[in-house]
Chain A
């Protein structure tokens, strides 16, 4: 019988994000991915008030085309004693920050930088079927692509149609999500969609991408880079800006999960988020009912429905109703994606959700939730994923 609780082992509140930085967000930026990464990281270090020479940990997505070594040779870091990457594309994000936090908390490094840089024209951003688009090691695509289920949007659309059938969700509910997040973007000078208002008619008349999903159910196409600086709590107190403490993080995927084409398991609508949530709330003192604001990965609007359920904000099948009455907007029950998310601010595999969470806790968000004490950040549902809870 153990004398300790799992929580005694955890990194709860032992580290904090003390600096955030980014480039501009645009459909096309000048400069290579490593140059954009460099800009974002330097901005994050300035924001933290920490010197480049102090950085000794690097955390990124496996999707990153720029390796730690290449980044280092371009930026001039000294010795690095922690380097690690998290896989599964948009399933990274909180996992990347979480791994960095574990490394910092345990003394493997002292100042970690987590980052994501992406240019659409670089490798990996091409069409799924392009030569050089990357080896698809996931065997299930051999049993989906020959039938015209080709792109991530087709795969998620297939799950969405089933969800609509099982729970009576309609396009109206997806529209609620798209509009709430667009409203937030309209108030954010950094958002790509800041000047583009969206009405219900705009949504309902938008062209199909993979029916039932239309243009506005899909995230933006963005060039951009972002970074976050993580240090231990004792150092965080002395940094330039209010720290965002990493209270808990978790990763997860379920039994018999299939990345993206998650049609082949017992319960396809109960995705990886459920596994993450169980571990997250096991480690966290802050539970779903205590969450003040959430940044939920939104490559596609239906991921919000699945995540609201997975992370315990409502029961299965209740997410459509949850989207109503302005619940997802600032002032509502659970404001989400308060900078405009991937749908309307920028799509850089969820990293802008992380930086926005920090802003909420600093009180500097363009759509500030009054007295926000904590913020949930999730990575993409539908792939092996993760989530974290940040707090003041």
Chain B
């Protein structure tokens, strides 16, 4: 087990870099089809709504509602094991409810992923995005109740 990573960071490449640089800047930036205006997430090189038209990047409003949640228990990996049981959520964006983000619900800017117990989370709760620096490259979008 000595070679096991202790946590999972996203693999960032040219295609998705604008999303992650957005997070570092404190904004939620995702792709959009310039023709149909449909939003696109997760990031990708192709545009499923108009295939010959490259997706463009646009800022979206970081408010939404809890769409679902889970409470993982071990066996997990070190970082997450230490904080287990914690909760993870999926948020649907107010701007477009088919755009959803996995994340965690924290009590506040300084919160932790195990702030809330399973029983305390309700689907439909309004939330807003916050950003937490993890490494130089990775800032994660997390969520707090509005």
Contact = CB atoms under 8 A, between A and B. Distances in A.
A170 to B, nearest CB: 14
Interface in B117-143: 118, 123, 134, 138, 140, 142
A148 B75 CA distance: 12
Nearest to B140: A146
B102 interface: yes
A158 B73 contact: no
Interface in B89-146: 90, 98-104, 113, 118, 123, 134, 138, 140, 142
A212 B70 contact: yes
For this complex, into which size category does the number of interface residues on chain A fall? 35 or more
B102 A129 contact: no
Interface residues of B, number: 44
A150 B76 contact: yes
Interface in B9-54: 9-12, 16, 41-44, 48
Contacts of A219: none
Contacts, number: 114
Contacts of A40: none
A265 interface: yes
Interface string A132-147: 0000000110111111
A140 B101 CA distance: 10
B69 interface: yes
29 contacts: A129-B8, A139-B42, A142-B16, A143-B10, A143-B42, A143-B101, A144-B102, A145-B10, A146-B9, A146-B10, A147-B88, A147-B113, A148-B72, A148-B88, A148-B104, A149-B88, A150-B80, A154-B70, A159-B68, A161-B70, A161-B123, A165-B68, A210-B73, A211-B85, A212-B70, A212-B118, A263-B102, A264-B100, A266-B98
Interface of B: 3-5, 7-12, 16, 41-44, 48, 67-73, 75-77, 80, 85-86, 88, 90, 98-104, 113, 118, 123, 134, 138, 140, 142
